[in-house]
Amino acid sequence: MKPCEARAAQAQPALEAYAALLARWNERINLVSPRDLPRLWERHIEDSAQLVPLIPPGTRRIADLGSGAGLPGLVLALLTGLETHLVERDQRKAAFLREAARVMAAPATVHAADAATLPSLAADLVTARALAPLPVLLPLAARHLAPGGICLFPKGAGVEAELTAARPAWTMRVERLPSRTDPAATILRLTEVARA
């Protein structure tokens, strides 16, 4: 068994506890679409977990912007054991993230703050899932990205339009990776992110 497979097997009970907690909290605050709850594992947990093999060796710190329900940040923290910072400005969602990190024993720090005003986290990896289109997301990501760091952004069918809209203001090396959980989705791996 590979180390990442062993970690995933050990993480299963924590992920199950997370899924149950998310379902309970989702009754009070909108963490995920109620129609997604029956497909929570495939639609959200596995979709987040597919980023693990894309994390470069030597990564020490992850910043997940607009963490919401903790996807992908909490899943990555648990599956990798890396120091993970979850940034969420909605106080109710931040409270959920704190409780979920505690229940999962995940190495995650929750920042109940706006990513635009939070001091830089100097992360080796910045993630965000369904937070904003690239022209809005890139200034936030660049603020929290360490020199030489990368961004991993799961994106939907409109990814090419987002890239086109971002290019006048940003330079970056772009790698499009297919999603293993949604044939219409793409994972953007961005390096050398800088203002044009």
Q: What CATH number is associated with residue 80?
A: 3.40.50.150
HEC readout, the chain: CCHHHHHHHHHHHHHHHHHHHHHHHHCCCCCCCHHHHHHHHHHHHHHHHCCHHHCCCCCCEEEEECCCCCCCHHHHHHHHCCEEEEECCCHHHHHHHHHHHHHHCCCEEEECCCCCCCCCCCEEEEECCCCCCHHHHHHHHHHHEEEEEEEEEEECCCHHHHHHHHCCCEEEEEEEEECCCCCCCEEEEEEEEEEC
Q: In which residue are the tokens 């999962």 written? A: 104
- Written as six digits, the tokens of 103 are 């229940």
The Cα 195–Cα 104 span in angstroms is 37
Give the per-residue pLDDT at 1: 36
Residue 43 annotated as part of some ligand binding site = no
pLDDT in tens, the chain (196 residues): 344 555 667 889 999 999 999 999 999 999 998 888 888 888 899 999 999 999 999 999 999 999 999 999 999 999 999 999 999 999 999 999 999 999 999 999 999 999 999 999 999 999 999 899 999 999 999 999 999 999 999 999 999 999 999 999 999 999 999 999 999 999 999 999 999 9
Give the per-residue pLDDT at 3: 44
Residue 66 annotated as part of some ligand binding site = yes
Encode 74-102: b = buried (16+ Cβ within 10 Å), e = exposed: bbbbbbbebbbbbbbbbeebbebbbebbe
**56: containing domain:** 3-195
Query: What's the whole-model pTM score?
Result: 0.93
Domain tally, the chain:
1
The Cα 99–Cα 110 span in angstroms is 10
Give the per-residue pLDDT at 38: 83
Please choose, from the candidates 60, 55, 67, 63, the residue with its C-alpha nearest in 3D space to the C-alpha of residue 144: 63
Give the per-residue pLDDT at 40: 86
Give the per-residue pLDDT at 2: 45
Give the per-residue pLDDT at 36: 87
Please report, as a single letter, which amino acid is at residue 30: N
Residue 61 annotated as part of some ligand binding site = no
Q: Are 41 and 19 within 8 A, CB to CB?
A: yes
